[in-house]
Structure 1
Amino acid sequence: MAKPRSNVQFQHRGSMSNGKARRPSSSMSNISETGSEPDAPADRNGVIAKSEGEPKSQSDYEKKKETFITRTIWTLIMIGIFFGGMFAGHIYMIMIVTAIQIISFKEVIAISNVPSRARSLRFTKTLNWYFLGTTMYFFYGESVIYYFKHIILIDRVLLPFATHHRFISFMLYVIGFVFFVGSLQQGHFKFQFSQFAWTHMALLIIVFQAHFIMNNLFEGMIWFFLPVSLVITNDIWAYICGITFGRTQLIKLSPKKTVEGFVGAWIFTMFFGVILTNILMRYKYFICPVNDLGANLWTGLECTPNPVFIPHTYRLPFIPPTWTHLPQTLTVAPMQFHILVFATFASLIAPFGGFFASGLKRTFKIKDFGDSIPGHGGMTDRMDCQFIMGFFSFVYYQSFIAVNKASVGGVLEMAVQGLNNEEVVEVVRGLVKYLVGQGRLDPKVLEYLQGNMVKRSRI
C-alpha cells in the first residue's frame, strides 16, 4: 500500500480512512483564520484556493518597490529644486528656506494633541500663525537691515521702519500676547498655556535657527551650501557604513544607528568636505557676500575674496630641517582647515538634532512629523539636523572667519542714526573735499554742492 501524500501547506500527515486522507482539525482552524471557506477547492498540494471575488493583498516586495520608486522620484525632485534655486540666485534660495521653515513649523505644531472640546476655542490656531508671522518679520527685518543698510537707510519710506524695527516687532508681539490672555477660557487654561509654550518652543527650534541659515546665504552661498551638503553626505555614509560593518548600537533613541557607522561617516565626510571646498573656492559666486539679489550663477558676483580662501604657505613643524627629502612647507587655503571643523560638527554633533527629533516623535507615538514629502515623511524629518548645523555655521563663521571692517552700510547707519542734519551735511562736505583732493571728483562738484547746501540751509 502506497504511503499517503504529505500535506504541504500544513506540514501534517493525514491518517488513512477508507483509502482517503483525513484532513486534520488544525488545518480547518487555519483555513477559518485565513478567511477561506472550509469547502473551498484545494490544489494537488493541499493549498486552499481563494475565491475569485476576494481581493489580493499587496506583497511586502511590491510595497517596498512602490516605496522605493516614490522616494527616488521625490529625491530627484528635491535635488532639482535645490540646485535650480541655488543657481538661479540667492533670492530663490531665500524663498525655499522660507517655505521650509513655514512647513516645518506647521508640522511641529500639528503633532501636539488637541482635545476635541478645545478645538472650538477662538484664536488657538490664529495665534500660532500670528506669532510665526511676527517672529519672521523680526528676524527677516534684522537680516535685511544688517546686510542692505546702504539701500534701506537712504529710502524715505523704508527709513522709519528700519530705524524703529525692533520697537515695531516688540509691539506686534505684545498685541499677540494681549490677545492670548484675552482669549483664556475657564476650563481650558492648561491646554491654552500648553499651546502657548509649544508654539514658542517651535519658534525657537525652527524660526530662530532658520534665521541664521538665512544669514549664511547673505554671507556667501558657500556658507549655506557646504553645511547642507555635509549633513546629507554624513547621513548617506552613516547608512552605508552601518549596514556594511555596523555592530554596536549607538543610542537607544535610534536603534539602527551604530558606532561603526557613526565613526566611518565622520571620516568619509571630512574627505568629501575637503574635495567640495576645493571646488567651490574657485568660483566667486559661492564665496562672495550678497551685494546684488538679482545675481545668479551666470551673471556671477564680484568681491575681494576673504583671506580664508587665499592659499597660504605653512611650515611643517614636525619635519626636521635636515630631512631635505621631505617637504618642509605646505601651501593650502586656511578654509581647508576650517572645513575639517565643519565636517566634524556635521558628523558628531548635528546627528543629535535627529536624535532629539526621534525622542520627540516617540513622545507623541508617531512615525513621522507629517507627509509633506511623499516617501520621505515630513519636512521636519529631513531638516532636523540641518537647523542646528546652520546655526553652528553662522556662529563659527562670525567667530573665526568673518573679516570685520567698516562698510558703506555701517557708515550710513552711524551717520543717519547718530548725527543731526547739520552734522550729516558737514560729513558730506568733508567727503567731497577728500574726493576732490584725491582727484576722484571734479572741483565743480564741490562748488555746486556747497552753493546748494548753503541755499538749502537758508531756506
Structure 2
Amino acid sequence: MSRPAATTSSGQFVTKSTFAALAVEDLEESEEELVQDDHVQPSSDTTEPPKLSKSQLKKLQKQARTERRKQARVAAKASTAENSPRATPSLEQSAARSEAIADGEEVLSPKAEYAPLPEPSAETQQEDVSPTLEPSRPCLESNSNVSAAVKSDTSNSVLVGSHSKPITALREPAPPQSQSDVERAVKTKQDAQEAERTKKRQNLITRTLWTFIMIGVFMGLLVMGHAYLIILVMVCQTLVYREVTALFSLKDMSPETAELAVKGHKDPWSKTLNWYFFAVTNYFLYGESIIYYFKHVVFTDGQLLPFATNHRMISFTLYTIGFMGFVLSLKRGYLKQQFGLFCWVHMSLLLIVVSSHFIINNILEGLIWFFVPASLVICNDVFAYIWGITLGRTPLIKLSPKKTVEGFIGAFWSTLIFSVVWGSYFMRFNYMICPVHDLGVSVWSNVQCVPNPVFIAKEWEIWTPLRVFLSQLLGRSVTVVPYVPYQLHLLVFAIFASLVAPFGGFFASGFKRAFDIKDFGHSIPGHGGMTDRMDCQFLMGVFTYVYYSSLIREHNVTVGSILQMIVSGLTIEEQLELMRDLKKYMQGRGITVA
C-alpha cells in the first residue's frame, strides 16, 4: 500500500513520479527496430529516403547497441536512487500524472497535484519503500505513455528541501549525417589541404627566386671590385644591427614617479644612443683597417695624417661622450630598461660590428679569403636541406626541428668535396689571391702581386712501399703527388663550415624562440630578415680571419710599415737626417737621386 499524501511543516514537494524516472524501453528490442525508431525520421515528402549502405548500417547498429547499454546503466542508477528513504506519491497519482503528460494536458503545479509529504521516520522507512517500488516495473511495462513522457520531459526534478536532484533523461542518438553532408565535409577538407599546398608552393617559388637574385647580386659585386663588397658587408651589418636592437623594447613597465607624461612610450634618447654607439664603433674599427692596409696613402697625406696618428684617442673621446650622454639620460621609472638596453647594444656591437670588421679585413687580404669561406657556408646550408628532405629521419637539435642528422652528415661530405673543387678553381686568378692596394681595381684590372706561398704548387714524395704498389697498379712510375697547400687549408675551412658554423644558426634559432618570433625581420622575401641569412657567416668570417692571420699571413716589412714607423716614431729633424742618409746611400749605389 502507498502512503497517503500528507502535509508537513518542512514544505517538501515531489514534482515528478519516481516511476516515470524508471521508464526505460524494453531492452530486448531488436537492433532493426531500434535503428528504425531512433534514426529514421518520418518524411513529409512522398519520396523514399536514400538507402543506407552496408557500412553505414553497421555503424548505426553499433551506435544502437551502445545507446542501449547507456539506457540500461541510467535505469540502474535511477532505480538505486529511488530506493532511498524518501517519500513518494502513490501509484495512482503517478499513473494519472503520466497519462496527463502523454495526452498533452496542462500539468498542475506541485502544490495542486501533490500534497506535502511528511518525512518518514526511521522505523517505517523499510516497510514504506518496498510496497511503493514493487509495482513500478509492471506499471512501466503496461503503460508505454509513461516511457514517452520521461523521454519528452527532461526539465522536471525531484525537490527535497532546498536542494534539487535532476533526473537524467534518456536521449536518443543523433541521426547520422546524410551523404551530402559527408561529401561537403570531405570537399572542405580537400580545399583546405589544396590551399596549404598552394601556399607552400608559392613560398618555395619566392624563396628560390630571391635566392638566385641574391647570388646574382653577390657575383656582380664580386666582379665590380673590393670597394663594392665592402659596402655590401656594411649594409648587411647595419640591417642586422637594426633587427637585433629592435627586439629590445624600452617601455615604461613599472613607473616609479608620476612625472612620466605618457606611460608605455619609449625613452626619446634610446634610439639616438643606439646609433651613436654604432657609428663610433664603426669609426674605430674601420679606421684601424684603413690605417693598416693603406699606410702608404694615409701617412703621406697631410690632411689625413693627424687623424691617423691620433685615431685611437679620437675614438675613445667619442665613446666617452656617448657614455656621458647615456648617464645624463637616465630617468626614474626607466632605469632597469635603460641599463638593459645599454648592455644589449654593447652585446650587439660585439657580435655584429666586430665580426663584420673581420670580414672586411678578409676582403682586403684577398677576395679568396672572403668569397670561398662564404660559399662553403652557403653550400653546406643547401646540401643540408637536400639531404634532409631526401634521407632525413632523425632530428638533430630541438632548437631547429627541421635539421636532421642525415642532412648534417650528408652536408659535411658534400662540402668537403665542393671546397677542394671550388677553391682550386679560383686560386688561379691574381684578382682573387692578391691583397688590395687600390680600392679602384675590378676583375678587368691587371692585378699583379707576389702570391702567398700557400698558392704555390708543391710535390709530396710518396712513401717507398706505397710508391711500388702504385707503380705496379697503374703501370707507370709514380713517385710524387702534386698538391697546393691552399687545398689543405680548404679542408679545414670546409670542416669548420660543416661542423661549427651551423651552430651560429642554432644560436639564432634559440634567440628567436626566446622572443617568440619566426624571423628577425622581412628584409628578404621568402628568407625573413638579414640576420636569418648572416648568422652563420659572422662565425665563419671571424674564424677565417683568425686562422689566416695566425697560420697563413706573412709578416713582411713593407714600405707602408716603414713609413708608419718613421712618421709616428721620429721627429722632423730625425726624418730629415734619415732622408740625407738615404740619399747618400743611393748615390753610393750609383743611383742618381734628384
TM-score range (shorter-chain normalised) is 0.7 to 0.9
Confirm or deny: 8 A CA contact 1:253 1:358 kept in the other structure.
yes
Deviation at residue 100 of structure 1 after TM alignment = 0.2
2:480 paired with 1:329? yes
- Segment of structure 1 superposing worse, 391-400 or 328-337: 328-337
**What do residues 86-119 of structure 1 show as CA deviations (whole Å, max 9, x unaligned)?**
1001000011000000000000011224436453
CA, structure 1 residues 48+218, in 2 after alignment: closer, same or farther (shift >3 Å)?
closer
Q: CA–CA distance in 2 between the matches of 1:221 and 1:97?
A: 13
Residue 317 (structure 1) shift: 3.9
Q: Secondary structure at the match of 1:331?
A: strand
Does the CA-based 8 Å contact 2:467-2:478 persist in structure 1? no
Aligned residue number for residue 111 of structure 1: 247
Task: Confirm or deny that 1:207 pairs with 2:232.
Answer: no
Of the three residues 316, 322, 342, the one matched with 1:196 is 342
How far apart are residue 48 of structure 1 and its match? 8.2
Moved more, 412-421 or 260-269: 260-269
Structure 1 residue 80 and structure 2 residue 216: aligned?
A: yes
Matched with 1:47 is 184
Is the CA contact (8 Å cut-off) linking 2:251 and 2:266 kept in structure 1? Answer: no
Structure 1: state its 5+ residue gaps: 1-12, 25-41, 51-55, 446-459
Q: Who wins on radius of gyration, i.e. which is larger?
A: 2
Aligned match for 1:238, one of 345, 362, 384: 384
The count of aligned residue pairs is 411
Distance (whole Å) between structure 2 residues aligned to residue 377 and residue 209 of structure 1: 21
In 2, Cα distance between equivalents of 1:275 and 1:57: 43
Instruction: Indicate if the aligned counterparts of 1:369 and 1:377 stay in contact, CA closer than 8 A.
Output: yes
CA contact (8 A) 2:249 2:266 kept: no
% same residue: 51
In structure 2, what is the Cα distance between the partners aligned to 1:118 and 1:429?
71
Tell me the distance in 1 between the aligned counterparts of 2:364 and 2:436: 5
Q: What's the CA shift for 1:428?
A: 2.0
Q: CA deviation at 1:158?
A: 0.6
Is 1:254 aligned to residue 390 of structure 2?
Answer: no
User: What is aligned with 1:430?
Assistant: 581
Change (3 A) 1:183 1:243: same
Q: RMSD over aligned Cα, in angstroms?
A: 2.6
The equivalent position to 1:367 in structure 2, one of 511, 518, 534, is 518
In the alignment, the residues of structure 1 paired with residue 550 and residue 463 of structure 2 have an alpha-carbon distance, to the nearest angstrom, of 26
Residues 1:434 and 1:118: Cα distance change in structure 2 (over 3 Å) = farther
Per-residue deviation, residues 151-190 of structure 1 (Å, max 9, x unmatched) = 0011111111111111111111111100001101011111
Superposed, 1:112-151 pairs within 5 Å as 112-115=248-251, 117=263, 119-151=265-297
1:67 and 2:203 aligned: yes
User: How far apart, CA to CA, are the structure 2 residues paired with 1:72 and 1:302?
Assistant: 38
Q: 1:65 to 1:403 in 2, by over 3 A?
A: same
Cα offsets for 1:374-394 (capped at 9, x unmatched): 111000000000001000000
Asked if 1 retains the 8 angstrom alpha-carbon contact of 2:295 and 2:561, the reply is yes
Match of 1:344 among 485, 495, 517: 495
What residue number does 2:49 align with? 20
| Partner Cα distance (1:160, 1:14) in 2 | 97
1:15, 1:22 within 8 Å by CA — same for their partners in 2?
no
Quick check: 1:143–1:215 contact (8 Å CA) kept in 2? yes
CA distance in 2, matches of 1:44, 1:365: 40
Q: In structure 1, what is the Cα distance between the partners aligned to 2:587 and 2:429? A: 36
The 8 Å contact of residues 411 and 498 in structure 2, kept in 1 or not, is answered as yes
Higher relative contact order (CA 8 A, sep 6+): 1
Counterpart Cα distance in 1 of 2:392 and 2:586? 67
TM-superposed deviation, 1:331: 1.2
For the pair 1:442 / 2:592, whether they are aligned, the reply is yes
Matched, 1:274 2:428: no
Gaps of 5+ in 2: 1-37, 57-178, 253-262
Query: Once the 2 structures are TM-superposed, how far is the Cα of residue 57 of structure 1 from its aligned partner?
Result: 11
Map 1:364-443 → 2, pairs under 5 A: 364-439=515-590, 441-442=591-592
- Tell me, in whole angstroms, the C-alpha distance in 1 between the residues paired with 2:446 and 2:214: 24
How do 1:157-196 residues align onto structure 2 when only pairs under 5 Å count? 157-196=303-342
Worse overlay, 253-262 or 329-338: 253-262
The match for 2:363 among 217, 242, 247 is 217
Q: 1:415 to 1:186 in 2, by over 3 A?
A: same
